[in-house]
Every structure is written in C-alpha cells, then in structure tokens.
DNA sequence: GCCAACGTTGGC
DNA sequence: GCCAACGTTGGC
C-alpha cells in the first residue's frame, strides 16, 4: 500500500529524504497550507531543526504534524526550494525552505497511534517531542502513511 | 493549566 | 568550561 502511494508522488526516487515538520494549527495549519498552495517554512529558531532544514533538497517529502491540541499527522507536503536565509530573522543565522502540499492524509495519524506502533518507537515524534523539524527513515515514513490508509 | 523536558544564556 | 537560572515547547 505504501508502495502504491509512492508511485503517485510527483518526485519518486531513491535520493528523496523524508522529514516530519510540526506546527501548532493555531499558528499555521495544514488547512492554511492547502489554501495558500505554498508557504515559506520560517521562524525555526532551534539549531538542530535549522540544520535539518539546511539538509533539505527540492522534492524531499514532509509529513505535516499538528502539535498542541490536535497531535496528529495530517498531510503530506514537499520541499520546493533550496534552503535559504530566513527573512524573518532579525539576528542570528537561520534558514527556511519553501513547502507545497501534496495531499491530505485520508485518515490523520494520531500521536497515540504512533506511540502504540512498535516500529515507530524511535521516531522523533516519540523520542524528541520538542524538535520541530526532524528526519524520518523511509520505513518510518512509509509506516505512517500506511497507518493513514482507511482499512 | 500544569509541568517535564530540554535548549539557551550568562555568571563565575 | 561548568552549571544554575530561565524560557519555550508540547504532551497530558
């Protein structure tokens, strides 16, 4: 099932990297990204998260997670720019990428579901709850997408 | 709303 | 360079 998913993605090759990005829906929601069609993923002020942003390439795939009240993965997005300097930063050395939605997940995958899944016990969502931009292995990415398929 | 986790800052 | 204080994030 996850394989079938990947076949319909616009960019599907082995060099694609996978990440999870978080946002509180009150601050910036998946729905807003769908409406806007594209956004600049700015405001990251954590070095580890920034370094992940800097490693991103065009075509990399992002799971979009709602933190705070929702606590679920709700969408699939992709990186559509190289990393570049965050124009909202008044001091310091921060980076952004531009992001576009690919599609909403059929069923949102809750943090509860993710925590109950043994194969996902090492994900940043479980182990690094405060890290807002984190890499996923292909297996983790595929597993979360598989959990989003209605049975 | 609380608080644990944890990253950052600044005094020494 | 250590570490206490502080601020922020995000789960509960």
pLDDT of residue A145: 95
Going by pLDDT thresholds of 50, 70 and 90, the confidence category of residue A148 is: very high
Strand C atom within 7 Å of A87 CB: no
pLDDT of residue A6: 52
Strand C atom within 7 Å of A121 CB: no
pLDDT of residue A92: 86
Q: Is the distance from CB of A72 to CB of A101 less than 8 angstroms?
A: no
pLDDT of residue A25: 92
pLDDT of residue A4: 52
pLDDT of residue A8: 54
Interatomic CA distance for residues A10 and A49, integer angstroms: 25
Strand C atom within 7 Å of A116 CB: no
Element (H, E) at A8: none
**Phi/psi of residue A143, nearest 5 degrees:** -65, -45
Residue A77: name the closest of A110, A41, A44 by CA.
A41
Segment A1-30, tens digit of pLDDT: 555 555 555 555 558 999 999 999 989 999
Interatomic CA distance for residues A56 and A6, integer angstroms: 19
Strand C nucleotides, any atom under 7 Å to a protein CB? 8-12
Interatomic CA distance for residues A55 and A133, integer angstroms: 11
* Residue A3 structure tokens: 């394989």
Strand B nucleotides, any atom under 7 Å to a protein CB? 5-8
Interatomic CA distance for residues A9 and A107, integer angstroms: 18
Strand B atom within 7 Å of A48 CB: yes
Segment A42-95, tens digit of pLDDT: 999 999 999 999 999 999 999 999 999 889 999 999 999 999 999 998 888 899
Percent of chain A with pLDDT over 70: 90
What predicted TM-score, i.e. pTM, was given to this entire model?
Answer: 0.88
């Amino acid at each position: 099932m996850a394989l079938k998913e990947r076949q319909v993605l616009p960019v599907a090759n082995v060099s694609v990297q996978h990440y999870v990005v978080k946002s509180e829906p009150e601050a910036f929601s998946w729905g807003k990204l769908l409406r806007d069609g594209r956004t600049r993923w700015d405001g990251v002020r954590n070095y580890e998260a920034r370094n992940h942003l800097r490693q991103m390439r065009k075509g990399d795939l992002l799971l979009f997670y709602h933190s705070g009240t929702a606590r679920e993965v709700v969408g699939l997005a992709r990186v559509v720019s190289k990393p570049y300097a965050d124009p909202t930063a008044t001091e310091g050395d921060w980076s952004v990428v531009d992001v576009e939605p690919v599609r909403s997940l059929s069923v949102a995958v809750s943090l509860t579901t993710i925590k109950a899944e043994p194969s996902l016990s090492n994900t940043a969502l479980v182990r690094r709850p405060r890290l807002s931009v984190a890499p996923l292995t292909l297996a983790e990415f595929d597993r979360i997408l598989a959990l989003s398929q209605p049975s």
